[in-house]
Amino acid sequence: MKLHRMARRELLATLGFLTPSLAGFSVFYLIPFGQSILISFQDRLGGSFTLSNYKELLLSSSFQQAASNTFWFTAISVPILVAVSLLLALLLNQRVFIRNWLRTAYVLPLVVPVASIVLVWQILFDWNGALNAVLQHFGFSRQDWMKSDWAGFVMVLVYVWKNIGYNVILFLAGLQNIPDQYYEIANLEGAGPVRKLFGITLTYLTPTTFLVVLMSVLNSFKVFRETYLVAGAYPHDRIYMMQHYMNNMFLSLDIQKVSSAAVLMALCIMALVFILFRTERIFRSYME
């Protein structure tokens, strides 16, 4: 009976601490998203049930372009970000020169305001920017980076630069949690660097890798701020993302299409997250 009372008291205390967060999450996220789901099935605000919003959305060329660009951006930028972050983390985990200074440098993009970041990239990739000045100096022709197919590569570069610091921190934490005894035993058995990398480092870094991939996928859907500030509301077709489409529909007060697009994007993100967690669970069971 006493244990039951203590468990009840702990449960009430836990709920008391969680109530403010749950209330804020419900008011600002859960309830608005639920309302968006209802609006996406209405022909007008407060109207009757219909599926025409989703049908028009899927047949829209603008939506197809935005969805395709978002998919390819995530498919290209996330593997690049994860690979580069892992390589840098492996380097910084060694006894390299000015290691602490390098760690600070990779974290700086996390604390710099987005507007300042965008200003730097505008100066770099503008028609009269620093990169074109260097190209012209060496005899190459200028490129209109943000109004050509190069715009996609520019945004991938901005995305990687902005998010690499956070991933490096996560990988460093995972690397430092691997016991040194494993490497000592591998050295005694005559294992080479490649075998230690794949047999020890990457194996025990798997949970951290899944977390980094998950965070990178979610962050790839947040690149709208940088793209919007660099190229405006109607950028080149190569970097016209889902967030651009939703923002333009919101400005035209087409709430039904905005809600439908938000629901579809949320479903895609949930599907990706489910696949990642399922893959991690299968891998863990295989390792055990």
Query: How many separate domains does the chain show?
Result: 1
Q: Is 159 among the domain residues? A: yes
Cβ atoms 177, 262 nearer than 8 A: no
Q: Is 142 among the domain residues? A: yes
Q: What are the residues facing 49 on neighbouring strands?
A: 42
Taking Cα atoms as reference points, which of 40, 59, 61 lies closest to residue 49?
40
Q: Is 42 helix (H, G, I), strand (E, B) or coil?
A: strand
State the Cα–Cα distance between residues 34 and 79, nearest whole angstrom. 32
49 phi and psi, to 5 degrees? Answer: -70, 135
Q: Is 281 exposed, middle or buried (0-12, 13-18, 19+ CB in 10 A)?
A: exposed
User: Which tokens go with 17?
Assistant: 């601490």
Output the pLDDT for position 82.
93
What CATH number should be reported for the domain holding residue 93? 1.10.3720.10
Provide the residue range defining the domain that includes 171: 61-287
State the Cα–Cα distance between residues 72 and 69, nearest whole angstrom. 5
State the Cα–Cα distance between residues 60 and 238, nearest whole angstrom. 17
Q: Is 230 among the domain residues? A: yes
Handedness of CA 144, 146, 148, 154 (dihedral sign): positive
Q: Is 243 among the domain residues? A: yes
Q: Is 167 among the domain residues? A: yes
Output the pLDDT for position 100.
67
Q: Is 124 among the domain residues? A: yes
Q: What are the residues facing 42 on neighbouring strands?
A: 49
Taking Cα atoms as reference points, which of 201, 121, 205, 125 lies closest to residue 159?
121
Output the pLDDT for position 36.
86
**Grouped pLDDT means (10 residues each) for the chain, 288 residues:** 72 84 86 87 77 87 89 92 90 72 71 74 80 85 81 87 87 86 82 81 86 90 80 79 84 83 88 86 73
State the Cα–Cα distance between residues 109 and 85, nearest whole angstrom. 14
Handedness of CA 204, 210, 215, 220 (dihedral sign): positive
pTM over 0.85: no
Q: Is 49 among the domain residues? A: no
Q: Is 9 among the domain residues? A: no
